[in-house]
Copies of this chain bind each other. A is one copy, B any other.
Amino acid sequence: MQDGDVSGGTALPLPPATFHILMSLAEEDRHGYAILQDVARRTRGAVKLGPGTLYRSIQRMLEQGLVEETRERPAPEDDDERRRYYRITPRGTAVARAEARRLASLVELARSSGLVPRKA
C-alpha cells in the first residue's frame, strides 16, 4: 500500500502506533509510560499500546527524526529518574499532519462509497 514519502524516509501510511504517539506528543512533552496512558485515555480505552510496540516505535521515531529526547525535566519532586522524556519535532508535526490528511480523505472516500450512514 505504497503512498508517498514525506521527505526523509518516513512513508505514509504511518504505522498506527506512530500516529498515536505523535498525537500525544503534539499536546505536550511526555515520557514513554505517560504516552501509553494518554493514548488509552484519549481513545477511551479503545487503543492500548503494548510495551513492545511503544518502545520500538519510539526508537524508530528517534532514528527518523520525528521525535527527540529532551533534557528538560520537571521539578525533582514530580519526576522519576527512570523516565525518558520526548518532544515532537517540526518534521514529526509535518508527518502527523500528512497522515491526518490521508485519513481524512480515506473517510471521504468511505462516505462517497455509500458507507458511513451516520456520524461517529
| Contact bitstring A90-120, B, C-beta under 8 A = 1, else 0 | 0001001101111111111111011111011
Decide if B13 touches A16 in the complex (CB within 8 Å): yes
A75 within 8 A of B: no
Q: In the assembled complex, which residues on chain B have CB atoms less than 8 Å from the CB atom of A97?
A: 115-117
Q: List 7 tightest A-B contacts by C-beta distance, closest first.
A: A100-B110, A104-B120, A23-B113, A101-B120, A105-B120, A100-B116, A26-B113
**Chain A contact residues, CB within 8 Å of chain B:** 1-4, 13, 16-17, 19, 22-24, 26-27, 42-43, 46-49, 53, 93, 96-97, 99-111, 113-117, 119-120
Q: 16 A-B residue contacts at CB 8 Å?
A: A4-B46, A19-B106, A23-B115, A26-B114, A27-B114, A96-B110, A96-B115, A97-B117, A100-B107, A100-B111, A100-B116, A101-B116, A103-B106, A104-B120, A107-B107, A108-B120
